[in-house]
Amino acid sequence: MTSPRQTAAPVAILTDFGYRDHYAGVMKGVIASIAPDAPIIDITHGIPPQSIVAGAIALRESWRFFPKRTVFLVVVDPGVGTSRLPIAIETRAGARFVGPDNGVMALAAHEAEITRAVEIGTSRFADASATFHGRDIFSPVAANLARGMQLRRVGPALERIRPLSLPKLAVSRAAIRGEVLYIDAFGNLVTNISRDDIARLNSSFPGKQVSVRIDTGASMAILNTYGDAPVGTILATFGSFELLEIAVRDGNAAERLGCRVGTHVHAHVAPS
């Protein structure tokens, strides 16, 4: 009795290519040509251009919701064509990652527990474009991994991958200063202040409310959800990333407040 043929693993794609141009579609075409039975899933192509931090956060918050054998093809690559390495990673959780060694895969890969990382051997990609490794290097490797190719055949082992360091919080006994890491399509300001950070502040001052403000702006309470605020009101809440967000109910906080990535956000214990 013959065993059933193993189907190809899904390939999940995350890029900063946007939705106007042909880049993401061509990558899918390459994958489909090599692994026609591999499901192809778009995580997003809307990462802000060249924003490695935004790509890393989106990938970290996405990978665990996919099937165990998924290959994550990640192309946020401002250093394409330079000395940065093309790499592939496998993990204890079963997820595989393919993309540039610039930190964009580091948060997710470490969370999934890296068991092996390799430099993609580029000798067989001699005709690769210097500006489109997503098509010419990463997509073929991701497709072949989805078909069952072993990671050791991709290239030589790496001792470590490049880490990604997120901006550090400034913490005092009664306050935390963070900053905006990412602005989503709704204009919500996603910060580097986590729910756990606020919980620690709350535990130091039981019974007192923690408030949030942007630089010298007015303080606001942290609400459970956007709908708890009146329409047009500026609010703070925890989004799906479990990070503190500043939002406008049915509006765009980035436009309303004139904020950008790097804007300081303060959480502090409200005075009695």
**CATH for 243:** 2.40.30.90
For residue 124, give its domain range: 11-153
| Residue 257 DSSP symbol | H
| pLDDT of the residue at 3 | 43
User: What total of structural domains would you count in the chain?
Assistant: 2
The per-residue pLDDT for range 21-40, each reduced to its tens digit, is: 999 999 999 999 999 999 99
In a domain, 6, yes or no: no
**Same domain flag for 139 and 40:** yes
Do both 245 and 179 map to the same domain? yes
223 falls within a domain? yes
**DSSP bridge pairs for 75:** 15
Q: Tell me if residue 114 falls in helix, strand or coil.
A: strand
- Report pLDDT for 145: 98
User: Does residue 106 contact residue 162 with C-beta atoms inside 8 Å?
Assistant: yes
Is residue 160 situated within a structural domain?
A: no
Same domain? For 247 and 174 the reply is: yes
Query: Average pLDDT by consecutive 10-residue portion of the chain (272 residues)?
Result: 67 96 97 97 95 95 97 96 94 98 97 97 83 95 97 95 93 93 93 94 87 86 92 93 94 93 92 64
List b or e across 149-159, with b for residues whose CB sees 16 or more CB atoms inside 10 angstroms.
eebeebbeebe
Task: Let me know if residue 161 belongs to a domain.
Answer: no
Does residue 87 lie within any of the structural domains? Answer: yes
The reported pLDDT for the residue numbered 126 is 75
Nearest to 89 by CA among 71, 111, 104: 71
* Residue at 165 is within a domain: no
- Cα end-to-end distance, the chain, whole Å: 76
Query: How far apart are the C-alpha atoms of 172 and 201, rounded to whole Å?
Result: 9
For the question of whether the overall pTM of this predicted structure is more than 0.75, the answer is yes
